[in-house]
Structure 1
Amino acid sequence: MRRNFKVVDLFAGPGGLAEGFSSLRESSGKRTFDVALSVEMEPSAFRTLRLRAFTRQFEKLPKSYYRYIAGEITRDDLIADHPDEWRAAVDETVMLELGTEKARNELDPRLDHIRETAAGDVILIGGPPCQAYSLVGRARNRGIKDYDAIKDHRHFLYREYIRILGRLQPVAFVMENVKGMLSSRVAGESIFDRVLEDLRAAGGSADSYTLLPLVPARGKQAGHVIRCEDFGIPQCRHRVILLGIRSDVLSGGALDGPGRTLEPVPRVSVASVLEGMPALRSGLSRSEDTPENWRKAVISAFRIAARSSRSEGTWLKAVASALADRAKQIGVMDEIPPRSSSHLVPAKDSRLRAWLSDTRLKALPNHETRGHMETDLARYAFAAMFAEVFERSPKADEYPRDLAPAHRNWESGKFSDRFRVQSWNAPSATVTSHISKDGHYFIHPDPMQCRSLTVREAARLQTFPDNYFFEGNRTQQYVQVGNAVPPLLARQIAEVLSDILDG
């Protein structure tokens, strides 16, 4: 029988890491990893996190949960139906800003209690905020007058993770962050090297924790950069994920050699999770949003895109012709697609279908389109049709001049894929929190829908189960999805860790 471990999740977001860890069960049905505490500071993500903690109190989700995410009852109604389970979720989740004195005063006694009651069988997971490490964040910081990286507390939030690691003394930890951490430097010192040194020494001695690779080493990366598309995630998401085991556990014979690593699986594409879902139309953000106004706006957009493509010469002739044909099809369309749909369509890929689907789910949540400016619809139409013809998203210098946005960096090469289509036959680009801004990087591959991805579509690319409900407004939901660890990847990491600790 495998051991049971208590999990503490820091900087938890909506709970992607915990979802994967808590899904692992023994043949008896008992969880290998029980989430004892999750900590998040952002209110909307915290509401999502607590709701998901609530669902873990049940072996079988109650009917009232499905009614709640379908909008049939309120959150208060749900709580009233299951007060004991809700109290357990409240006890498991806490909204605090890590690194503050208030958080330390409240968390430290709880951490001590978890360590004592679990007899040391504790796992620490989570990832400090990444804005200071990401390439985009660093570029933005360089534009801030008098910006001083040494004074940016976000560079050092990982130290709170280290502090808690030292206090909790878990048998293992998993720490996730952006790939930009590898090249981030403060005062000439490598942040990544400092993080590795601090993690190894978190137990009080220089090598109290041993870092194990999750994938075979690539050059200087020592097996810490995970390419999600290699492990059945329909997304090209590359992240640094550090797995550490307490060295005394390893010296006790639990591991001989480098240990188990993640096992690659065949790549899956955008189509594997999005194809077949009901067509939705985009919204109109700056005019009256009616189906007929949408028809007129999109016909105009397709015609503008077709005319602009023809003006570029023969190389875009096929794109121009296809755009003109689709404009005619939209003109005679009997029914305009809606902006939202709760219709359930399972994923095409069998492995993803088993992970995402819930046969008791009556309505697909968080699946509503956003509004777009009419000036962007022609770019969306061109980009999606270009991808249909050439099987890739166009770069900035491939757009017709008439469709170029009034953006100072458009021709600089810095944002050559500012308008990016997700191709049916390949994994998507990295789903990031930027999807909350405008959707330009996440254009749906079907030209006829002329829109960006919905929250639910982004969540499927991130492998959140279809019954995972995101709280907050739509912008907040996008941020939550973009900042999360793909739960199915977390599940695979949990399997590797379980095998290592089981010896």
Structure 2
Amino acid sequence: MKSSFAVAAKCARLSNPQARPRVLDLFAGCGGLSLGFQAAGCDIAAALEIDELAARSHAINFFKDEPEETIEHHAKPRDVASLEPEDLVAEFGLGKTAEAIDIIVGGPPCQAYARVGRAKLREVADHPRAFKIDPRGNLYLRYLHYVDRLKPLAILFENVPDILNYGGHNVVQEIVEALDDMGYEAAYSLINAAHHGVPQMRDRVYMIAYRKELGATIRFPRATNYCDLPPGYAGTRAVALKLINSSEGYAFIEPDTGHKGLQPAVTAREAIGDLPPVTAHLEGKLKRGARRFTEAVHYRRTGWENLSSYARLMRSWPGFEARDGIYDHVLRYLPRDSRIFKAMAPGDEYPAAHRVAMQLFQSAARRRGLSASSAQWRSLRDSMVPPYDPGKFPNRWWKLKANGPVRTLTAHIGKDTYTHIHHDSDQARVITVREAARLQSFPDGFVFAGTMNPAFRQIGNAVPPVLAREIAVVIVNSLRASMLPALAAE
């Protein structure tokens, strides 16, 4: 297959070992994917993010050495639904549209996983507003539109496992078929971050695609850590993979899940155990209100040699070193719950927390001599016992296990952090913003715009940078290996 001039021009530029692949991050959030690709030797040319604070976080981290006006330009929130690729390239001064970007990465929010079909996806190439015709708002069509116009050499697409089987419909497979029509070879896998050095059991779908002219082989990173996932993860994966396992013809690659000869998964203690304890809430010093990142907190006085390798990485990530301390080690005001957190055992979920709360309440009621169902009894119960039905919300709370990776961080931590209660009972609290960032593998020098709740949401929405870096290395190496053969074919 004869390469287009744009593809050939990109290959020629990248055949220089000093040239850095240019990345466009769509639906970028605060920049988990961008950070991984930057660490793998890429330049982040631009990012599109509609959320104002997430867009600002991306700008102040990836363009922090640029003039203030450049940072402000990148910090502007942008809507992929209304900004055309040509206008994006012109706005950022990236040159010719089809030659501007080497790699597109992103995870479009597929809120409407409804079946669109190959014919509808094919419309993208011919109708730049095709996604608008579909009232269900399938933003992954917009992602494909950017691919069609910018013609990157490589693509990385990320999403939740449900996208593989949404009502008997595999959205990613349809995207693979649409990319085939656009001149790309694509395949996907279901990867858990705990197998790749992230202290979190996080399943996500990753799709890699290359221009067919390159003849690049699609590979996914080998596991670096072993983790025996709990039964719940196996069940979720089985549902997501049901369509793939029951039929042939899917472009699915089995992930490498490691073996017991590898290093065990990074644990919660290794990830956050070196951070200073937080006890202000136990001392009556924590009040309601927005938490801002204005106060520096120094690290524990622990020798470098005593830190876990993961903690050392988080403190020393090139370009994101935190030096002596951190500014976002803040947590929510939850005066009712500290006694519950302290009494919970590692791994306890909400039913156990509710039992603990009831025991504490009943003991307090007896000490005060309150009669059951009296106004004082009910008031005390309401002040000590969470109101949620333990039969309906079994997973609402969870206390971390110090000796294993944590459960998936999601955007919901922007509303509450009961899913990640600190394993240290003496601290009796939920995790802080910086601890959430550590568990998502953001280095300590990475900063988040806004206050506590938006920062939590940005972290929960992100792709873990350590895993992003592993995938980026594979993609960049595959591109480098395919450059000379592709040029020779011209």
State the TM-score, normalizing by the size of structure 2. 0.68
Once the two structures are TM-superposed, the CA of residue 433 in structure 1 deviates from its matched residue by: 1.2
Which residue identity does 1:470 align to in structure 2? F
Aligned to 2:339: 378
1:290 alignment partner AA: G
What residue number does 2:266 align with?
268
Matched, 1:242 2:207: yes
Which stretch has the larger CA shift, 345-354 or 166-175? 345-354
SS in 2 for 1:37: strand
d(CA) in 1 for partners of 2:280, 2:331: 6
Q: How does 1:314-329 map to 2 (within 5 A)?
A: none
Counterparts of 2:455 and 2:352, CA distance in 1: 32
CA distance in 1, matches of 2:158, 2:431: 25
- The 5 Å alignment of 1:13-32 reads 13-24=29-40, 32=41
Q: 1:93 to 1:438 in 2, by over 3 A?
A: closer
Structure 1 equivalent of residue 331 of structure 2:
369
Is 1:405–2:386 an aligned residue pair? yes
SS of residue paired to 2:207 = strand
**SS of equivalent to 1:230:** helix
* Aligned equivalent of 1:11, options 12, 24, 27: 27
Preserved CA contact (<8 Å) 1:36 1:92: no
Encode CA deviations 1:78-97: one digit per residue, 9 max, x unaligned.
xxxxxx53344345554211
- Measured against aligned partners, the alpha-carbon deviations of 1:222-280 in whole angstroms (never above 9, x if no partner) come to xx111000011011111111111111111xxx44xx54633423211011121132211
Q: Distance in 2 between matches of 1:502 and 1:108?
A: 24
Q: Deviations over 1:176-215 (max 9, x none)?
A: 1111212224xx64433323322333x2xxxx211245xx
Asked if residue 469 in structure 1 is aligned to residue 447 in structure 2, the reply is: yes
1:53 alignment partner AA: F
Provide the aligned C-alpha RMSD in A.
3.1
Aligned to 2:252: none
Check conservation: 2:274, 2:299, Cα contact below 8 A: no
Matches within 5 A, 1:291-440: 291=285, 342-345=297-300, 348-357=307-316, 361-374=323-336, 376-383=337-344, 386-387=345-346, 392-394=347-349, 396=351, 399-400=354-355, 402=358, 405-408=386-389, 410-412=390-392, 415-440=393-418
Give the whole-Å Cα distance in 1 for the aligned partners of 2:110 and 2:148.
22
Q: 1: CA distance between counterparts of 2:281 and 2:415? A: 15
Equivalent residue runs for 1:39-78 within 5 Å = 39-55=48-64, 57=65
Aligned pairs, number: 370
* Alpha-carbon contact 1:268-1:349 (below 8 Å) kept: no
- Given that 1:340 and 1:369 are in contact with CA atoms closer than 8 Å, whether structure 2 keeps it comes out as no
Equivalent in the alignment of 1:290: 284
| 2:363 matched residue in structure 1 | none
The answer to whether the Cα contact below 8 Å between 2:53 and 2:449 also exists between their aligned partners in 1 is yes
- The answer as to 2:151 corresponding to 1:169 is yes
Note the C-alpha offset of 1:343.
Answer: 1.1
Deviation at 1:128? 0.8
4+ aligned runs moved over 6 Å, structure 1: none
Instruction: Give the AA of the match of 1:362.
Output: D
In structure 2, relative to structure 1, the CA distance for the partners of 1:167 and 1:352 (3 Å cut) is farther
How far apart are the structure 2 equivalents of 1:471 and 1:184? 34
Alignment of 1:474-485 (within 5 A): 474-485=452-463
Matched, 1:158 2:140: yes
- Structure 2 match to 1:193: 173
Distance 1:398 1:13, change over 3 A: closer
Gaps (5+ residues) in structure 1?
Answer: 25-31, 58-83, 135-149, 214-223, 295-338
Tell me the equivalent position of 2:275: 277
- Cα separation, partners in 2 of 1:198 and 1:359, compared to 1, 3 Å: closer
Cα distance between partner residues in 2 of 1:352 and 1:456 = 12
Q: Which one-letter code corresponds to 2:459 in the other structure?
A: V
CA deviation after TM superposition for structure 1 residue 20, in Å: 1.1
Cα deviation, 1:103-132, whole Å, max 9, x if unaligned, reads 567326458x64738846610011112555
Matched to 2:202, the amino acid is: R
CA drift of 1:281 comes to 2.2
